[in-house]
Chain A
Amino acid sequence: MSKRVFQHPAPSTTGKKYWRSLGELGDTPEFRGWLEREFPQGAAEFQGGDVSRRNFLQLMGASMALAGFGLTGCRRPEKHLVPFTRGVEWSIPGKTLFFSTSYPTRKGAAPLVVATHDGRPTKIEGNPLHPASKGASDLLAQASILDLYDPDRSKHFWTMERGAKGGKRSDEASFLKALDAVIKGAGDGAGLAFLVEQNDSPSRERLRAEIEKKFPNATWAIYEPLGDEGGDAVYGGVRAVPKLDKAAVILSIDHDFLGNDGDVALCKAFSAARRVDDGPDSKMNRLYTVENRYTVTGGIADHRLRLPVSQMGAFVRALAEQIQQKTNDAGVLQLLQAAPVAGVKFPAGWVEEAAADLFAHKGRAVVLVGPRQPDGVQALGAAINAMLGAPGATLGGRKSSVKPGASIVDLAARIKEKQVKALFILGGNPAYNAPADLHWAELQGSVETVVRLGHYEDETSKGATWHVPAAHYLETWGDGRATDGSYTSVQPMILPLYGGWSELDLLAAIARGKKAEGPELVQETYQELVKPNDFVAGWAKFLHDGFVAGETPKDEVLSFNNAVAIDAVKKVAVGMPAQSGLEVVFVACPKVDDGRFNNNGWLQEIPDPMTKLTWDNAALLSPATARQLGVKDGGMLEITVNKASLTIPALLFPGHADNSISIALGYGRAVTGRVGRGTGFNAYPLRTTETPYFALGATAKATGKTYQLAVTQEHGTLEGRGPDLTRQANVEDFKAHPEMIRKSGMDAHIPPNVSLYTNPELKDLHQWGMTVDMSLCTGCSSCMVACQAENNIPIVGKEQVINGREMHWIRTDRYFASLSDEEGDPEVISQPMMCQHCENAPCETVCPVNATVHSEDGLNVMAYNRCIGTRYCANNCPFKVRRFNFFDYNQRDVLGRKEGKTFSGVYEWNLVSEKGMEDSLKMSKNPNVTVRMRGVMEKCTFCVQRIQEAKIAAKVSGRDSTKVEDITIPADSFTSACAQACPSDAIVFGDISNKESKVSKLREKERGYRLLEYLNVLPRVTYLARIKNPNPKMPGFEKIGEAMKSHHHGPKHEGSTAPAGGHH
């Protein structure tokens, strides 16, 4: 017997590189620092605001001295059990109650099911009954629950007289009196104006009709800063709704349909058609994306072209021209003649081959043009779709039930003409986000009475004469329409915490003189719309299901109107070539949206899905453009456009189009809560009525100053093991050599390992496991917020994130992949990373106190009360998924967050801040999960609270049955929070010992591999490799195909018996 000799092979130096940041690509000292230390330089040092080690000791001494008096800790505190006086229907103390509702957004209502504990809503899920959700939800819906409990919410009525300095607190009665006076003096309503957000609520429409009847000359304006430019005109007002499950080839042009521009339904439909090995009938669609910066849609695309946003029109024109040549459509020829020819060059063959592929799949192809692109560009896109036979096949039609209103520009004109005496601003925040050239704040100040209904006392409230606290959607009755047109309910889970009013309340008070006390207003609408045979049963079912099933409007016919298209094309210079100078693109932030979630700590701290930036926005630009401008990451840039300028830090973003700068809106708020204060930079002042989406002719110069950005892309890097962790292949190669996935990277070289440890056999009835399908995962980060809400994960603040102390149990690692050191056109692959629940877990063997151990059902469990905080486990974790509570993030989460305390400016943790959590935040916690304290380690538990609940439920229903089946949890009857939220069905959780479960079938797939197999840690999480479906004729095809070939030594390796431990 010869001794086994094994040398760790050096990572392969040829082939595709996987990198998370430019720092990693260039191997900078800062990056080495992240790599070599578990936590960054100085992370173990005491850093809490301005408290030094010295005055920490003073504080400690003082508190020790105080602790000596009275020995209060030794007494048993008397606690009380306080039952209800009268029983409450459905309420069982300690049991979760679920209610369905929907979350009204500008895109339509998102159907939801909300978990409530003893009357407190704690967790939001998608509505599994609704076809537009199927149980999934996006990150904004997930995080919206935190806004309900936000301690900085508006809690009082305020009134402020014109000319007075500051307002004074008022109450509902005084407001009603003032409102009455306004209504009485309104006459025919010529002086009345309403500014509302986009919303499909039929009840709101009904009240609007009543108001218009009472005040026929009132102005009703709708404003959404990130609203659509309206591509509906070419279809006669009918909106085209993509049916992605029917599409084989999709070309998205500046349309982030899996992210900001889309919804859960689109993600579900897209992922349903992107399954390579889901049975013999499974088909894999092909996605081409043209965009200026990486979005989640571009990240998952098979082919991606980076192009400045201003050149998209030229691209669409070129594409239309190509397809027109194949169809010889006379109408489109006219349209093309009306559109000016651009002088833009695209990579050779890109447009031609994409057009050929689309045309070859006529009837199964669709072109999606960004909803914020100018009308003319969208009209050309519609013309292409008409030629491709998309309407009726891959595009459905839906007519909005909402009557169009005036625009904010019309309203501004009326205010300027002094025609508006009383202005009602319902929601929104125009003083912050209206186009800069309207000078909205001044306009608003010139109106005699401005009534503002707002969730926060914000910029707009400051210039209002009355501020009315708005109720959260979880506190009110209402209704809406989902994206598929179905009628959804909005029902309260809890009474308004601070006596807020809903939009319907205020409108009813204006239209009818009093607000509704209960659901009667919505009930009337329901009666009118649905006309149920049995109202009581129908209404109960409406609330139970959350929508009216079977009443979804039928598809409208989409008839393309060429004449309208020609008009639109003429109005907007479609073939616009790049002008000199830079373009600035005002992009929607995936986290704070238009700024409405600015004070939401969960969203502020979630890394942006692509840039991995937290707590700020930045000017995103390509490394090449940055070199030209002479800036590095965090270097301040002074950007001037539209006669305004903004100084904002730069963030180099590989894959960004050159000469283009993207700035997310929604940051740099002047008046916001304690979380949002001091975050980011306000780009709205650069944005005008004419340039709502992008502005040309910008100049940028480096100021030489720097700003610290909290970017998490280098946190938890795994020693450059990208190729081992993220595996991808193109579909042809995969079908020819399916074994290549498992024999890739190190796993191609290393012989099976022998473990020194013997572990007891895991014999429990259930064995838990998870699969993550990287073909479907877009990196949208819904899972991260879902996990945060479910597991009481605290936010830690920007400073702590910079120190690498963010607490997310699940993170999405975003890798760039490129063949060489090129940074311009890398591919992107996102990988959710959470505790792998290794059967042979390295963390367990190093814990000196047995605080982390294995359970019989295959979980790596963590007993917080045993943990003494040595952090050995985190050091020994190859996946870097363990999180340590460096401070009492739950107890002292914000500096002086208690009301009345001063605030230093930036959300941060501080030792000397007052102890204790805000009461409203306590209410948001999941009572089934321990709220962790300082000094303990924590990590993903596979949602053990849900597992235990399911186990107990099975045992309770089995009772004294002697059959094992009766106490077994049925397959896929529950799932983890991340898997439940995932809009793409990428994460699947379940019992791997049950052959019927989805997860046990998925983990057998040939695409399945486990991370760092050669370490023999035996993870319970199986990743399914990303399979791409590129077009062989496209330029750059060979690069995509190359992705795996270089790591994998091919089928020739099969059967060749390499000597044990040998490596070539």
Chain B
Amino acid sequence: MANIFPRGSNILPLKIVLILAVIGPALTAGAWYYFTPKYTRVGYQPAQPVPFPHDIHAKQLGMDCRYCHSHVEVAAHSNVPTTQVCINCHYAVQKENPKLAPLHESWLTGKPIEWVQIHKTPDYVYFNHAAHVNRGVSCVSCHGKVNEMSVVYHAEPHSMAWCLDCHRNPAAALRPLDQITNLDWTPKELNVAEFVGKYGKPPGEEEVDFTQKTTLTQEQIGKTLAAQWHIKAPDMNCAGCHR
């Protein structure tokens, strides 16, 4: 009887297995990496109509975030400043700088500047800035060190899993309210005596003597604040963000 299958087909099963073993995981890994916000969003850095350098304003000049993003503490939406806010200083400062031409044009014509949106949440997600910045979550937790960016880019993935990571363990992000807009703050800067005096000792460490300690870890700070402010895995149900 003649051979129906050529000799080469003997290794066909092996080939199939190999291909499946390589291509399958490669596709999965590829999608895992390339199709997630970690890849698609982080690093997005569009050019803005006016090249506003956050590093100069926030870092060098030491302006507070809330000078421009003035409604962040009261509204869900953190506003982009009106032309009027920019003009407060730039009617005099750097008046002749050609980069500011669109700004002056906007002020004279009344036509608003169209800033390119970087951080976007989908329409079915209802994120609230006020709820976060008033309860111990700093700007830096979600937006990165904007004060060091000369052109702002998307620093964190802003995916649902990323949101949930923090909501499951808010202690990792909480800090005293007076340090919310201080993007360079580290736990080392905390005055331990004052903190312990105000909020008490971290939960589970009531026996420890903190008078001799000069620093607390983020976890110690976060846990103390979460306990004192009654923050327990907030809104871990769909309706917290989806309405």
- Show the binding face of A for B, using Cβ within 8 Å: 76, 78-87, 92-95, 765, 853-856, 859, 861-866, 928-931, 941, 944-945, 947-948, 952, 955-956, 959-962, 964, 967
Known contacts A859-B239, A956-B134; decide if A84 and B112 are in contact (CB<8 Å): yes
Q: Secondary structure of the A side of the interface?
A: loop
Residues on the B chain within 8 Å of A866, using CB = 238
Within 8 Å by CB of A865, from B79, B82, B135, B242, lies: B242
Closest CB in chain A relative to B104 CB, distance in Å:
12
Within 8 Å by CB of A85, from B84, B120, B242, lies: B84
CA of A856 to CA of B44 in the docked complex: distance in angstroms? Answer: 37
Please choose the segment from B25-33, B92-100, B125-133 that sits at the chain A interface, where 4 or more of its residues have CB less than 8 A away. Answer: B125-133
Residues on the A chain within 8 Å of B116, using CB = 78-81
Give residues 107-150 of B contacting A (CB, 8 Å). Answer: 107, 110-117, 120, 123-124, 126, 128, 130-131, 134-136
Query: Does the CB pair B106–A85 fall under 8 Å?
Result: yes
Give residues 66-82 of B contacting A (CB, 8 Å). Answer: 71, 73-77, 79-82
Closest CB in chain B relative to A808 CB, distance in Å:
18
Residues on the A chain within 8 Å of B71, using CB = 92-95
Closest CB in chain B relative to A745 CB, distance in Å:
33
CA of A15 to CA of B237 in the docked complex: distance in angstroms? Answer: 46
CA of A810 to CA of B111 in the docked complex: distance in angstroms? Answer: 44
Closest CB in chain A relative to B144 CB, distance in Å:
18
Residues on the A chain within 8 Å of B75, using CB = 92-95
Residues on the B chain within 8 Å of A864, using CB = 124, 242
Residues on the A chain within 8 Å of B82, using CB = 83-87
Query: Does the CB pair A85–B110 fall under 8 Å?
Result: yes
Query: Could you list 10 examples of A-B contacts with CB < 8 Å?
Result: A80-B115, A82-B114, A85-B83, A86-B110, A94-B75, A95-B76, A863-B239, A941-B239, A952-B131, A967-B230
Question: Can you list, as one digit per residue, whether each of B173-215 has a CB less than 8 Å from chain A (1) or not (0)?
Answer: 0001100000000000000000000010000000000000000
The closest CB in chain A to the CB of B200 belongs to: A962
Within 8 Å by CB of A76, from B40, B73, B85, B229, lies: B40
Query: Does the CB pair B237–A854 fall under 8 Å?
Result: yes
CA of A930 to CA of B176 in the docked complex: distance in angstroms? Answer: 34
Residues on the A chain within 8 Å of B242, using CB = 861, 863-865, 930
CA of A94 to CA of B44 in the docked complex: distance in angstroms? Answer: 25
Closest CB in chain A relative to B196 CB, distance in Å:
14
Query: Does the CB pair A930–B123 fall under 8 Å?
Result: yes
Query: Does the CB pair B84–A93 fall under 8 Å?
Result: no
Residues on the B chain within 8 Å of A86, using CB = 82-84, 110
Instruction: Say yes or no for B228: interface residue by CB 8 A criterion.
Output: yes
CA of A684 to CA of B151 in the docked complex: distance in angstroms? Answer: 68
Residues on the A chain within 8 Å of B40, using CB = 76
The closest CB in chain A to the CB of B242 belongs to: A863
The closest CB in chain A to the CB of B122 belongs to: A865
Residues on the A chain within 8 Å of B80, using CB = 81, 83
CA of A882 to CA of B112 in the docked complex: distance in angstroms? Answer: 44
CA of A861 to CA of B243 in the docked complex: distance in angstroms? Answer: 8
Query: Does the CB pair A855–B239 fall under 8 Å?
Result: yes
Closest CB in chain A relative to B213 CB, distance in Å:
22
Query: Does the CB pair A956–B73 fall under 8 Å?
Result: yes
What total of A-B pairs shows CB separation below 8 Å? Answer: 136
Interface size class of chain B, counting residues whose CB lies under 8 Å from the partner chain: 35 or more
CA of A930 to CA of B125 in the docked complex: distance in angstroms? Answer: 9
Residues on the B chain within 8 Å of A962, using CB = 199, 228-229
Instruction: Say yes or no for B46: interface residue by CB 8 A criterion.
Output: yes
Closest CB in chain A relative to B108 CB, distance in Å:
10
Closest CB in chain A relative to B31 CB, distance in Å:
13
Closest CB in chain B relative to A1061 CB, distance in Å:
36
Residues on the A chain within 8 Å of B84, using CB = 84-87
Within 8 Å by CB of A956, from B81, B113, B124, B130, lies: B130
Residues on the B chain within 8 Å of A861, using CB = 237-239, 242
CA of A93 to CA of B73 in the docked complex: distance in angstroms? Answer: 12
CA of A553 to CA of B116 in the docked complex: distance in angstroms? Answer: 57
Give residues 220-243 of B contacting A (CB, 8 Å). Answer: 228-230, 236-240, 242-243
Closest CB in chain B relative to A750 CB, distance in Å:
32
Query: Does the CB pair B237–A928 fall under 8 Å?
Result: no
Query: Does the CB pair A948–B134 fall under 8 Å?
Result: no
The closest CB in chain A to the CB of B84 belongs to: A86
Most chain B CB neighbours (cut-off 10 Å) among A76, A82, A87, A955: A955
Closest CB in chain B relative to A953 CB, distance in Å:
9
Query: Does the CB pair B134–A93 fall under 8 Å?
Result: no
CA of A955 to CA of B46 in the docked complex: distance in angstroms? Answer: 35
The closest CB in chain A to the CB of B160 belongs to: A865
Residues on the A chain within 8 Å of B236, using CB = 856
Closest CB in chain A relative to B105 CB, distance in Å:
10
Closest CB in chain B relative to A849 CB, distance in Å:
12
The closest CB in chain A to the CB of B234 belongs to: A955
Known contacts A85-B111, A928-B126; decide if A93 and B77 are in contact (CB<8 Å): yes
CA of A955 to CA of B240 in the docked complex: distance in angstroms? Answer: 14
The closest CB in chain B to the CB of A929 belongs to: B243
Query: Does the CB pair B239–A944 fall under 8 Å?
Result: yes
Residues on the A chain within 8 Å of B106, using CB = 85
The closest CB in chain B to the CB of A930 belongs to: B124
CA of A100 to CA of B143 in the docked complex: distance in angstroms? Answer: 39
Most chain A CB neighbours (cut-off 10 Å) among B74, B113, B120, B243: B243
The closest CB in chain B to the CB of A765 belongs to: B230
Known: A76-B40, A960-B136. 16 other contacts (CB 8 A): A80-B115, A81-B114, A82-B114, A82-B115, A83-B79, A83-B83, A84-B112, A92-B75, A859-B239, A866-B238, A930-B123, A941-B243, A952-B76, A960-B177, A961-B229, A964-B230
Closest CB in chain B relative to A1039 CB, distance in Å:
46
Give residues 155-169 of B contacting A (CB, 8 Å). Answer: none
Residues on the B chain within 8 Å of A955, using CB = 131, 134-135
Residues on the B chain within 8 Å of A960, using CB = 136, 176-177, 229
Residues on the B chain within 8 Å of A83, using CB = 79-83, 112-113, 115
Within 8 Å by CB of B112, from A85, A93, A94, lies: A85
CA of A856 to CA of B167 in the docked complex: distance in angstroms? Answer: 15
Within 8 Å by CB of B237, from A765, A856, A930, A941, lies: A856
Residues on the A chain within 8 Å of B115, using CB = 80-83
CA of A929 to CA of B126 in the docked complex: distance in angstroms? Answer: 9
The closest CB in chain B to the CB of A962 belongs to: B228
The closest CB in chain A to the CB of B236 belongs to: A856
Residues on the A chain within 8 Å of B112, using CB = 82-85
CA of A947 to CA of B240 in the docked complex: distance in angstroms? Answer: 10
Residues on the B chain within 8 Å of A863, using CB = 238-239, 242
Query: Does the CB pair B117–A80 fall under 8 Å?
Result: yes
Within 8 Å by CB of A93, from B79, B113, B131, B238, lies: B79
CA of A808 to CA of B177 in the docked complex: distance in angstroms? Answer: 44
Residues on the B chain within 8 Å of A948, using CB = 126, 128, 239-240, 243
CA of A863 to CA of B238 in the docked complex: distance in angstroms? Answer: 6
Known contacts A930-B123, A956-B73; decide if A80 and B240 are in contact (CB<8 Å): no
CA of A555 to CA of B124 in the docked complex: distance in angstroms? Answer: 53
Closest CB in chain A relative to B229 CB, distance in Å:
6
Most chain B CB neighbours (cut-off 10 Å) among A82, A765, A964: A82
